[in-house]
Amino acid sequence: MSHKSLFSYSFDEFKQAVTDLGLASFRAKQVWEWIFKKFVFSFDEMTNLSKNDRDLLRQNFPRILPPVKKFEKAQDDTVKIVVELADGHLVEAVGMPDENSLTFCLSSQVGCNVGCIFCRTGEDGFTRNLTKEEILLQVMMLIKKIGRKPTNIVFMGMGEPFFNRKAVFAAIDTMTDAGGLGLATRRITISTSGVIPGIVDMINRPGEVNLAVSLHSVDEQTRNRLVPINKKYSLGRLREAIAAYCDATGRRVTFEMVLLKNINDQENDAYNLVSFCEGLICHINIVRFNKYPGSDLEPAPESNERDFRKILKKAGIPVTVRRSRGGDILAACGQLSGSGNEQEK
Ligand code: SF4
């Protein structure tokens, strides 16, 4: 008896496991369809399987989905779930429904060792990487809670996804497999703090997974402070890797900018960003800083943000402002912690 989670298997591996149990191999396809197409997570409800086969599968895969440890819904319908992993650690995942879309924001690690100063996740340091199965569990548990599959996936939750590339890419392969969830790769975005080997891997990967880079500043000293990994992967080398990515793939990179009062929100910061972007296929996404308990940082005043945008627009650089979602349940960008704690009142 394996007792391995079903989500740790690829379809071919699951088919092998099913035939090893003495079942017909087409049973694997039926189970896969129930789970990934019809979102049924109990063998008892898989009505085209015989009772004997259902019993055998239940004995070998006792629990398809664990229960959600904690579920919260924000005023804007953003949903946050806390997932308890087999070793007791907690991770958070967020679902953001809109009229025509549903975006899932996923975690890739328990904690994070990058230490961005505006992010709550890194406060307790790094514990461990998530497995492919634990990443897929977040997706399937959100689907079960919300009742439909996502249109978009972003790896912007807890952790630096490029420090866990093997599991992240394996989870993406299952999400995009036509026999699985069948999501389009171009609907999936990996957001990195600037881990260059991950950007190089993206050049060579098939599919059209999008790349976002948490840039925040193009001044070496300021970025060292905001995103300390910059001391290892400096801005110059980062820009070279991004340029190589744009040249090789023809795809656009999104630069995320959290504008902080008196740190990176001045006009000269915007002009320097324009120079950095020259020759790159890129788009700037201004992310409003979401305050969280214990942080003394302040978001840029609206007037600074407006002037910043104007400078970029005038230089012909596409710029958007990301609407903050789920702030009242600490589900917005930079607010996830895996503590499952309530927001301070
Ligand atoms: S923003 Fe991302 S990379 Fe930076 S500390 Fe938070 S989780 Fe880690």
DSSP sequence for 148-168: S--SEEEE-SSS-GGGGHHHH
Q: By the 8 A CB rule, do 194 and 162 touch?
A: no
Query: Has residue 341 been placed in a domain?
Result: no
Same domain for 206 and 252, yes or no, is yes
Cβ(64)–Cβ(42) below 8 Å: yes
> Is the CB–ligand 1 distance for residue 92 below 6 Å?
no
Q: Where are the alpha helices (DSSP H) in 180-257?
A: 196-204, 220-226, 235-249
- Whole-prediction pTM value? 0.92
- Residues 29, 75 share a domain: no
CATH number, domain containing residue 49: 1.10.150.530
Mutate to test the pocket of ligand 1, among 94, 192, 193 (most ligand atoms within 8 A of CB): 193
- The pick from 112, 215, 292, 339 for probing ligand 1's pocket by mutation, whose C-beta has the most ligand atoms within 8 angstroms, reads 112
Segment 132-160, tens digit of pLDDT: 999 999 999 999 999 999 999 999 999 99
What's 112's domain CATH number? 3.20.20.70
Same domain, 43 and 187: no
In angstroms, the CA 168 to CA 172 distance is 6
With CA atoms as reference, report the closest residue to 107 among 170, 160, 186, 174.
160
How many whole angstroms separate alpha carbon 169 and alpha carbon 151? 18
What count of Cα atoms within 13 Å lies in the side-chain half-sphere of residue 131?
A: 13
What span, in angstroms and rounded, lies between the C-alpha atoms of 263 and 289?
12
Q: Is residue 110 located within the same domain as residue 51?
A: no
Q: Both 212 and 318 in a single domain?
A: yes
- pLDDT of 341 reads 46
R_g over Cα of the chain: 21
pLDDT in tens, 297-321: 999 999 999 999 999 999 999 999 9
Domain interval for residue 145: 70-329
Query: Do 277 and 199 lie in a common domain?
Result: yes
* Whole-angstrom distance, CA of residue 124 vs CA of residue 334: 13
Beta carbon of 112 within 6 Å of any ligand 1 atom: yes
| 38 and 142 co-located in one domain | no
Tell me if 168 CB under 6 Å of ligand 1.
Answer: no
- 51 with 110, same domain: the answer is no
CA distance 26 to 83: 31
Q: Are residues 75 and 28 in the same domain?
A: no
Q: Is 287 inside any structural domain?
A: yes
Write the residue with the smallest CA distance to atom 7 of ligand 1: 159
To the nearest 10°, report the CA torsion of 156, 312, 276, 107.
0
From CA 212, how far away is CA 193, in angstroms rounded? 9
Task: State in Å: Cα 204 to ligand 1 middle.
Answer: 24
User: Is residue 335 included in any domain, yes or no?
Assistant: no
Which pLDDT score is estimated for 322?
79
CA of 64 to the centre of ligand 1 (A): 30
132 & 30 share domain: no
Shared domain check, 168 and 29: no
Task: Examine the domain organization and report whether 47 and 157 are in the same domain.
Answer: no
The closest alpha carbon to 99, from 151, 157, 144, belongs to: 151
Percentage of the residues of the chain whose pLDDT score is greater than 70: 92
How many structural domains are present in the chain?
Answer: 2
Over residues 72-78, mean pLDDT: 91
| Residues labelled catalytic | 92, 333
